[in-house]
Amino acid sequence: MTALPFRDLHIDANGRLVLTDLSGDTHTGVSPVRAHPISAPDEGLSLVGVHGHELAWVERMSELPEGPRHLLEAELAAREFHPTLKRLISVNTFSTPSTWHIETDRGEVDFVLKSEEDIRRLDEGRLLITSNHGVQLQVPDRWALDKQSKRLLERFL
């Protein structure tokens, strides 16, 4: 395990992330920002102060002790809204723009896919689909989707 890039990290009474740096200075309202949120979410995390300056750099989230790691994961989950597509239920047309009815890890939703370019292929069968409202849906493994979802999705890839 590597040395911590800060002395302390906690949530204050107002729900703000507070960092005590290696010099002993306390910074309230710190924001975690991933360097590569899609391609390498565990690698490279900047802890940024309210004025936009980096206060600490975390090489790997997985190397942090459990307490600070869970705090940062909770903060990131609140900031990064990337629902996971679990099932593609229906589409109204196989040309774009098209309305998709899907099931996500947060419930069922309809959205408009403006063009095929809004489906971004990542590594190892992963996809990132951007809705007309800019919400990015992640598909961790398109090959693990049910048969109907795969069949509908293939029409757009």
Q: Which of 32, 49, 79 is the endpoint of a domain?
A: 79
Q: 33 and 73 in one domain?
A: yes
My answer on whether 124 and 64 are in the same domain is no
Dump pLDDT digits (tens) for 15-36.
899 999 999 999 999 999 999 8
- Domain end point (choices 79, 100, 123): 79
State which of 79, 101, 118 marks the end of a domain.
Answer: 79
Handedness of CA 75, 79, 82, 83 (dihedral sign): positive
Mean of pLDDT values over 73-94 = 90
Q: Check whether residue 92 and residue 147 sit in a common domain.
A: yes
> What's the pLDDT score for residue 2?
63
Measured between alpha carbons, how far is residue 76 from residues 42, 45, 79, 95 in Å?
12, 10, 5, 35
**Is pTM, for the whole model, over 0.85?**
no
CA angle 100, 102, 108 (to 5 degrees): 125
* Predicted confidence (pLDDT) per residue in 44-56, tens digit: 999 999 999 999 9
Domain hosting residue 150, numbered range: 85-154
Tokens of 94: 């196989």
Kindly state the tokens that stand for 128: 């990132």
3-state helix, strand, coil in the chain (%, to 5): 20, 40, 40
With respect to residue 2, please indicate whether it lies within any of the assigned structural domains: no
* 1 pLDDT more than 70: no
pLDDT at 6: 95
Is residue 44 domain-shared with residue 71, that is, in the same domain? yes
Number of domains in the chain: 2
pLDDT at 124 over 90: no
Burial class (CB in 10 A: 0-12, 13-18, 19+), 81: exposed
